[in-house]
Structure formats: structure tokens, C-alpha cells
Amino acid sequence: MNEWRRSVPSDAAQLPVLTQFLQEFWSAASLPSAQAMSFELALEEIFMNVVMHSSSVTGAPHIEVSLVLAGGAVVLTIEDDGAEFDPLTLPQPNLEASLGERPIGGLGVFLVRQLMDTVSYQRLGATNRLRMSKHVERLREGTSQGATGPIAK
Amino acid sequence: MKVKFETLDRTTLVVPEGRLDFGAAAEFQKQIERAIAGEGATPAVLIIDCAALDYVSSAGLRVFLLAARAAQRAGIGFALCALQPAVREIFDLSGFSRIMTVHPDRSSALAHTPPGPV
Amino acid sequence: MRASPAAAAAPEVQAEARAAAVQRGLQVHAPLHRASALRAAQSLRAIVRTQAQRLLRPDRLFGRAFENIILTLIIVSVASVILEEVHGLPEWAKRALHIEEIVVVCVFSFEYLLRLVAAEKIKAFVFSFQGVVDLIAIAPFYLAGVDARAVRALRLLRLLRVLKLQTHILENTVAARTRELADKNAALEQAQAQLKAELDIARALQIAILPATFPVKPGCDGAARMIPATTMGGDFYDFIELPDGRIGLVMADVSGKGVPAAFFMAVARTNLRDLAPQYLEPGACLAQTNAMLCAQNPMELFVTVFYCVFDTSTGTLRYANGGHNPPYVRRADGSVEALTGAGGLALGVMPGVNYPDHTVQLLPGDRLVLYTDGVTEAFNSADEPYGVERLLAEVKAHGDGGATALIERICRSVTVFADAAPQSDDITLTVLTWGAP
């Protein structure tokens, strides 16, 4: 399957567009829908972070999302042409704090790190790139479901 | 996201249906605030039944956190119930399971949530 | 020729004798060989026809000049028809128009006769559109003597000479376009042939860099094969000699097709090969290779890699997986197990990926089978994939046979299964049997 790309203006109202894009990719790749949520969440958290923190000298920045299957993993890439900003440097939340003490924000990037296998940030020229991946179990045709014996999958 | 309300004696049940993402969070927060304020009399217990909640992001978690605090301030019993497995995982990862009460289903939530602060 | 007394006679006598002989010959031959005379007449006609065709050819100087003259005269004669209707025309003008009419008709008649003679089939020409138009263009003149009113009517027919103009222009345009197209097609075919030749060389080079034979190690019977797909792909295998009797085995699959994939394959293979002696833990080797590939990956390709280091003296196999299909081990007792365990992301996607190491112990008689998804995802015309079960069935059925023979067996099985469906992906296999008795 080839790489899929979608570009949107940096605007919170675009989130449903990107969510639908992800869902279309997911079914086109015949992936189990139960595994999509980690990616939907990662997409939302990073996208909203970029929307809220990115700024651009030359008008509203654009955000490009791409999805591709690489070996047994799905790779999600979010790029924006705003000022240099690494969401991974945002402060970690305090998970031990009590109800009254818990700060409101900071959970987004933390959740992404927990749910994804690998996350990396790169500044490429005038672009911020956040790339993450997670291994997924593909629905394969022609393979026996419920194989017995030592043949593990 | 659709939100239904049910009242049982002095317990208000909030039943969100669908996805609680950034777009739905603001409205959901307003509705919870209205439920806490009550129509006439404030409820003694507020339970959020998440059986039909398919998805929650950090924006949604924020609403739950604010709701729990508001209930505490208002002296209302507060609990969640029937979290779907994927949503439960998010709650656990973010440590929310420790700071608010989560019941497996509605009946146990109704039975075990006393009125008053948690 | 021996000079005879008769031949020594005077030249005039000789000539006379020759002429008489020719005449005699004709007289003798005509009644007896009417067929050959007919043939002679036909070949004479053919010669004349060829000459006429040559005159009319537009790519020759005479043909082009003649054509231009015709075109000019057509325009002139149409203009004259209009001019003739002007009242109060001076006498000299009327006479000039009359002379012009005669000249035009002569030239057109000559052209008509020339075309008549040049035609392959006379009847076809006479009744063709061009033939009819050309005849109508000159007919009014020859029929002028019949009736005054008819003449005037027929004169207007000269306007039909405009049609003549059209057929000329049409002919020229069609001929020019056809020539253009033929030239363009020839250029395209040549470019395509050259491209194909270069791609064939590239593919041959790509295959040539794969090791041909398994390193000779005690107790090891190893073999590998790569069958390239129709379009250049990026599968590769490798055997890397490492210190202390160890061998590194690589099985890899580059994303995409064509020249970029082939290029990336060469880079990935070289990087891994260079790093292997330095990073003897397979996971570390993959991590370093990944870092190198990510540092320079303009085409944003990636490669799935299974890399293992096999100790040929102890049978210990250490392995790490970068997104590749897990290989299988067939134990001596016939059971088959997959080399699973947590792996890392395919190489080239992002830096900093961790590749956990795993260990498995091979016992004498065990067999390792590495492959790419070109085997399991080979489709037949019914769109069914070959699948893992068929692969394992072949492995099990082969029993204790040799490694090369197993590879041949699997390749044959895949080819037979795929049947008429084209091979869309490289088929790559490595088999290693250890401690064969």
C-alpha cells in the first residue's frame, strides 16, 4: 500500500477531516478497527498541540498528515510549516498529584508516548516533523485463523 | 457528541454517546456544569455512564477532571461507570483511575456512590 | 568472335542488315508470340506510368513546382469568373481573361492526362472524387461550342475548381502530418529501447551484488535465491562472515519499486555489511544501520530487515527484527516454529528505534528458512495469495533434503501456484541447515 497524505490549514475545526482520513486509511489497509484508537488519539493530541502552539510569519501554517504501512507497523507523520516547535519538549504531567493538585494540561504528548512504540521529532528546513509508529496486527487473507501447535504469529 | 440525562431520585446520570474529542469537549463541559447546578434542586450524586463513549482524548480527560473538582466543591457524590476497554486504558495511563472512582457498571455505581464529596 | 568475311563488310551494309533482322524478328515474333508482345506493351505502359508518377511526386522539385503552379492557376481562374461578370469591362481585359482561360485549361488538361497516366487503376481515378473534380474543372471549355447559355452555366462550374484547391491542401496537410507522426514515433521507440537496455543493465548489476554462494562453514548447508519481479524491486539477502566462526544472515525488503528502490537496496546492504563486524549484537547492528539510513533518505524509503548472527560451532542464533516477516525453524523432529519476539520499526523511517535481541538454540538437523513477502504474497489469477501454509507445507515435505533443493522446490511451487499471473514482487529465500550428520 502506498503512502497516504492529507494537508489541512492549521485550525482546530479540521480535526474531524483528519480523523476521517485516518479511518479511511485504516479500512483500506484492512487493519482491525480496534487498533485504530491509539492512532486517532495520537493524531488528535499532536494536531491540537501544533494548532495551539504553532505560529508563522507568513500567514496561517499548514499541517500535512501522512500514513503508511512499513513492515508490520503503521507510521503516522505530522508536519507543519510553522515556527520551530518540538511537542516532545512540553513538560510531563504529574501523575501522582491528587485531584485538587493535578494541573489541567500536559497529558496529550504523554499519552502519545505511552500508546506509540516510537516517537521522534525532526526539524527539516522550514518544517516541523513529528513521526510516530506502532506495530499492528494485519488482517490477512488466506492465513488460517486458529492455527494450533508451535506455529506462533 | 450526543449527551443524554436521566434522573433517579436525587441522582443525575449523564450518558455521553460517541466521541469525546477536542471539538466535543467544550459543549460537554457546559452540560456537566448545568447538571451539577441542577434544574431547581442540585443533585446529591452525579454519575457519568460511559457505556456508549467510544473515544476520549486529553481534551475529554480535562472535562472529567474539572467535573470531578466541581462536584467536590458542590458537595456532590461523583463517579464514572462502564468505561469501554480502550477508554479505560487511557484513564489508567493518565493516572485518572486513582483520583476518581470508576465502577464497572451502572448498578454498582448507583449502589456505591454516597451523596457528598468523594 | 572470329571475324567472318560477311562481318568485314562496310558499316552501312551492317546497319541495314541489322535493321532488316530486327524487322524480320518482329514480323517473325508477332504472330507466334502475341503474349510476349502484350507483355512488352504492358511493361512499356508501366515505364510510362512510373515516369508520370515521378513527375507528380511532391517531394521532388518538379512535383512541388507543378503543384504550386496548379494552385496559383486555380485561384486565378476563380478570380476571373468573378471578374467576368463585371459590366463595362474594357476589351483588352476581356481578351486577357480569354487568354488566361485557355492557358488554365491547357495546364489543367495536361495535369489531368498526367494523373490519368500515373494512376494505378485508370477507372478508379476517373471516378474518384479528385478525378471527377478535375474533369469538371476543364469540361466547360471543351463543351463551350454546344450552347451559349449552357456555356455560361458551365462556366460557373469552374468555381468547383475551389474544390480542387481543397483536395490539394487536404492532401498536403495529411502527408505532412503523417510524416511528422512517423518521425515522432521513431524517436519515441528509440528512446524506449535505450531506457529498457539501461534498466536491464541496472537489474543485472543489482542481482550481481548478491552473494552467489554460502560461506563454507563446518556443518552448514546453506543456499539462497532471489527471483526478481517484472519491475525492478528491492529485495536482498546477504551472508556476512564474522569473527569466531559466526555468520550474519540478512533477509530484507525495500519499500517501493524501480530505480529508487534498487538504489536504496544497494545503500542499505552496504551499510549493514560495513557495520556488522563492529556491532555483533544484531539489535545494535540494526539500530546503527537505521541511524545511517535515516541520515540520508531523500526518497523517504524504508526497508524491513531480519538480521541474525549464527554461531556455527554452538548452533546459537541471536536475532533482531526490523519489521520483517518472522522466519521459521524446522526442527529435526519435523515441528516448525516461527522466530517471533518483539521487533522494531522498519529501517529508514526514523532514528532512535530500539531493536530487541532474541536467542534461539538450533540443534543438529534443524533448518532455518528466511523469506520475503514476495513468496507468501504471490497471487494467482484468482487473487489468492500463496500464503504461509503452502510455504511450510513445502518445508515439511522436503524432510531432510538439501538446502538448494528446498529452495528450488519452493520456487517451483510458487511459480506453479501463480501460473499465468505476472510476478509483481521479488521472491527471495535463504535456507540454512545446521549440523547435518
Q: Which domains can be identified in chain A, with CATH numbers?
A: 4-86+112-135 (3.30.565.10)
Looking at the partner chain, which of A71, A75, A143 has a beta carbon nearest the beta carbon of C387? A143
Query: Which chain A residues are within 8 Å of B55, Cβ to Cβ?
Result: 37, 40-41
Say whether pLDDT at C403 is over 60. Answer: yes
Which residues on adjacent β-strands are paired with residue B56? Answer: B20
Number of neighbouring beta carbons within 10 Å of residue C400? 12
Contact between C204 and C185 (Cβ < 8 Å): no
Beta carbons of A133 and C345 less than 8 Å apart: yes
pTM for the model stands at: 0.71
Indicate the Cα dihedral angle A77, A83, A86, A89, nearest 10°: -160
More confident residue, C408 or C18: C408
Tell me what pLDDT residue C165 has: 72
Determine which of A4, A5, A66, A75 to mutate to test the interface with C (most C C-beta atoms within 10 Å). Answer: A75
Q: What is the phi/psi pair of residue C255, to 5°?
A: -70, 155
More confident residue, C147 or C42: C42
In chain B, where the domains are located? 2-112
Nearest Cα residue to C303 out of C229, C356, C230, C353: C353
**Dist. CA C401–CA C248, nearest whole Å:** 23
Tell me what pLDDT residue C138 has: 77
Q: What is the mean pLDDT of residues C427-434?
A: 93
Instruction: Retrieve residue C16's grid coordinates.
Output: 541495314
Q: What is the mean pLDDT of residues A112-128?
A: 92
Share of chain B above pLDDT 90, in %: 65
Say which residue the cell 449523564 belongs to: B14
Tell me what pLDDT residue C268 has: 95
Number of neighbouring beta carbons within 10 Å of residue B38? 16
Q: What is the phi/psi pair of residue C414, to 5°?
A: -65, -45
Tell me what pLDDT residue C167 has: 77
Determine which of A88, A131, A151, A153 to mutate to test the interface with C (most C C-beta atoms within 10 Å). Answer: A151
Tell me what pLDDT residue C407 has: 94
Q: How far is A152 from chain C (nearest CA, A)?
A: 6
Looking at the partner chain, which of A48, A96, A99 has a beta carbon nearest the beta carbon of B72? A99
Chain segment A43-56, per-residue pLDDT in tens: 999 999 998 887 65
Query: Which chain B residues are within 8 Å of A48, Cβ to Cβ?
Result: 22, 57, 59
E strands within B9-69?
11-20, 45-49, 53-56
Tell me what pLDDT residue A141 has: 44
Say whether pLDDT at C39 is over 90. Answer: no
Chain segment C286-337, per-residue pLDDT in tens: 999 999 999 988 888 999 999 999 999 999 999 999 999 999 999 988 899 9
Beta carbons of A72 and C337 less than 8 Å apart: no
Query: Which chain C residues are within 8 Å of A124, Cβ to Cβ?
Result: none
CATH 3.30.750.24 fits B2-112, yes or no: yes
Looking at the partner chain, which of A3, A120, A151 has a beta carbon nearest the beta carbon of C338? A151
Tell me what pLDDT residue A104 has: 66
Least confident of B57-66, C168-177, C382-391: C168-177
Contact between C359 and C318 (Cβ < 8 Å): yes
Query: Which chain C residues are within 8 Å of A72, Cβ to Cβ?
Result: 323, 343
Share of chain A above pLDDT 90, in %: 54
Tell me what pLDDT residue C169 has: 80
Determine which of C340, C349, C373, C386 to mutate to test the interface with A (most A C-beta atoms within 10 Å). Answer: C349
**Dist. CA A67–CA A7, nearest whole Å:** 12
Chains with 3 or more CB pairs under 8 A to chain C: A
Say which residue the cell 521487533 belongs to: C343
Q: What is the mean pLDDT of residues C21-36?
A: 55
Contact between C124 and C83 (Cβ < 8 Å): no
Range among A45-59, C32-46, C247-261 rated most confident: C247-261
Tell me what pLDDT residue A152 has: 32
Say whether pLDDT at C49 is over 90. Answer: no
**Dist. CA A48–CA A34, nearest whole Å:** 23
Beta carbons of A142 and C384 less than 8 Å apart: yes
Instruction: Retrieve residue C29's grid coordinates.
Output: 515474333
Q: What is the mean pLDDT of residues C391-396?
A: 93
Looking at the partner chain, which of A70, A72, A150 has a beta carbon nearest the beta carbon of C349? A70
Chain segment A2-41, per-residue pLDDT in tens: 899 999 999 999 999 999 999 999 999 999 998 999 999 9
- Exposed, middle or buried: residue A56 (CB in 10 Å: 0-12, 13-18, 19+)? middle
Beta carbons of C336 and A151 less than 8 Å apart: yes
Confidence at C16, pLDDT banded by 50, 70, 90: low
Q: How far is B70 from chain A (nearest CA, A)?
A: 10
Beta carbons of B57 and A44 less than 8 Å apart: yes
Q: What is the mean pLDDT of residues C265-282?
A: 95
Contact between B71 and B36 (Cβ < 8 Å): yes
Report the helix count and the strand count for chain A, using DSSP H and E. Answer: 3, 5
Contact between C117 and C49 (Cβ < 8 Å): yes
The pairing of strands B45-49 and A118-124 is: unpaired
Q: What is the mean pLDDT of residues C68-79?
A: 80
Residues 6+ apart with CB under 8 A from B16: B1, B2, B3, B28, B48, B50, B52, B53
Beta carbons of A111 and B69 less than 8 Å apart: no
Does the CB of A142 have a partner CB in chain C at under 8 Å?
yes
More confident residue, A78 or C9: A78
Tell me what pLDDT residue C330 has: 94
Beta carbons of A133 and C350 less than 8 Å apart: yes
- Exposed, middle or buried: residue C428 (CB in 10 Å: 0-12, 13-18, 19+)? buried
**Dist. CA C437–CA C218, nearest whole Å:** 11
CA distances for C346 relative to C295, C303, C350, C354, angstroms: 15, 6, 9, 11
Tell me what pLDDT residue C204 has: 85
Say whether pLDDT at C273 is over 80. Answer: yes
**Dist. CA A122–CA A86, nearest whole Å:** 8
Complete DSSP assignment for C44-92: HHHHHHHHHHHHH-TTSHHHHHHHHHHHHHHHHHHHHHHHHT-TT--HH
Tell me what pLDDT residue C63 has: 78
Nearest Cα residue to C354 out of A46, A135, A138: A135
In the sheet where C328-330 sits, what is the strand order? C220-227, C427-434, C367-371, C328-330, C336-338
Confidence at C29, pLDDT banded by 50, 70, 90: very low
Q: What is the mean pLDDT of residues C358-380?
A: 94
Q: What is the mean pLDDT of residues C395-405?
A: 89
- Exposed, middle or buried: residue C9 (CB in 10 Å: 0-12, 13-18, 19+)? exposed
**Dist. CA B61–CA C278, nearest whole Å:** 48
Tell me what pLDDT residue C161 has: 65
Beta carbons of B57 and A102 less than 8 Å apart: no
Chains with 3 or more CB pairs under 8 A to chain A: B, C
Number of neighbouring beta carbons within 10 Å of residue C125? 18
Looking at the partner chain, which of A12, A99, A111 has a beta carbon nearest the beta carbon of B99? A99
More confident residue, C210 or A53: C210
Say whether pLDDT at B54 is over 70. Answer: yes
Chain segment C216-247, per-residue pLDDT in tens: 888 899 999 999 887 778 899 999 999 999 99
Q: How far is A80 from chain B (nearest CA, A)?
A: 19
Rg of the Cα atoms in chain A: 18
Confidence at A98, pLDDT banded by 50, 70, 90: confident
Determine which of C254, C307, C345 to mutate to test the interface with A (most A C-beta atoms within 10 Å). Answer: C345
Residues 6+ apart with CB under 8 A from C332: C363, C364, C365, C366
Q: What is the mean pLDDT of residues C201-226?
A: 88
Which residues on adjacent β-strands are paired with residue A66? Answer: A5, A77
Q: What is the phi/psi pair of residue B109, to 5°?
A: -65, -45
Amino acid identity at C86: V
Amino acid identity at C117: V
Number of neighbouring beta carbons within 10 Å of residue B29? 18
For A99, name the nearest residue in chain B, comparing CA atoms only.
Answer: B99
